[in-house]
Amino acid sequence: MDFMKTVKETGVLIGISVILAFGVNQVSPNGIALLGQWDTSQGVIRAVKKNDVVMDELEIDDITHGKTLYDTGHVLFVDARSSEDYHAGHIKGAVSLPVGQYDEQIDGFLERHDRDLPIVTYCSGRTCEDSHFLARLLMERGYTNISVMIDGFPGWEAEGYPVD
């Protein structure tokens, strides 16, 4: 067994992998930034894709502001989590529109809720991008007044706010 030869060849394989990795990441539509956003105190954590769904301007990063909107009684809270999670517990009065079943459920949602209705989406907190993803999908359908409550259901529940 020639140890040095193995080391050299391993270097060649690693070199090819690294070149290929950065090349493909550069051209792939799903490519990510070299540095992600992994600090929950800065907002939703994510790798930061080229087609990043997170829109900072929509974010409600203070849960008490979410509660103020809730208390007006004029804002629709939309739960982006799976229906199992929704049934296990959700913000009182929130409707379920799981990102995973968006295509099947969006028509019914459109019939029931006007486009000018103020909407707050939420999911499982700052480790989850689904509420942003749902916000984008709803904007594409013409909803104009959308916010994303990034602390999600866990943050809401921790404050002792109304749940069902």
Classified as helix, coil or strand, 152 is helix
Q: Give least dist CB 49 to another protein, A.
A: 5
The yes or no reply on residue 27 touching another protein (CB under 8 A) is: no
Taking CB under 8 A as the criterion, the residue among 27, 35, 104, 116 binding another protein is 35
Q: Which of the ranges 29-37, 65-73, 86-94, 139-147 carries the binding residues for another protein, by CB under 8 A? A: 29-37
| DSSP per-residue codes, 79-110 | E-S-HHHHHH--BTTPEE--GGGHHHHHHHHH
**Using CB under 8 A, which of 14, 55, 88, 158 touches another protein?**
14
Q: Which residue has the tokens 């929509």?
A: 58
Q: Please give the residues from 56 up to 85 whose contact with another protein meets the rule CB under 8 A.
A: 80-82, 85
- Which tokens hold the place of 33? 């930034």
- Strands (E) in the chain, as ranges, are 59-60, 76-79, 95-96, 119-122, 146-149
Residues 82-111 close enough to bind another protein by CB under 8 A: 82, 85, 98-100
Site membership for another protein, residue 144 (CB under 8 A) = no
Toward another protein, which CB reaches closer, 39 or 111? 39
Contacts of 124 (CB under 8 A, 6+ apart): 81, 85, 130, 152, 153, 154
Count, residues in the chain: 164
Nearer to another protein, 36 or 144 (CB): 36
Q: What count of other Cβ atoms lies within 10 Å of the Cβ of residue 37? A: 15
By CB under 8 A, name the binding residues for another protein.
1-2, 5-7, 9-10, 12-14, 16-18, 20-22, 24-25, 28, 30-36, 38-39, 45-49, 80-82, 85, 98-100, 123-125, 127-130, 152
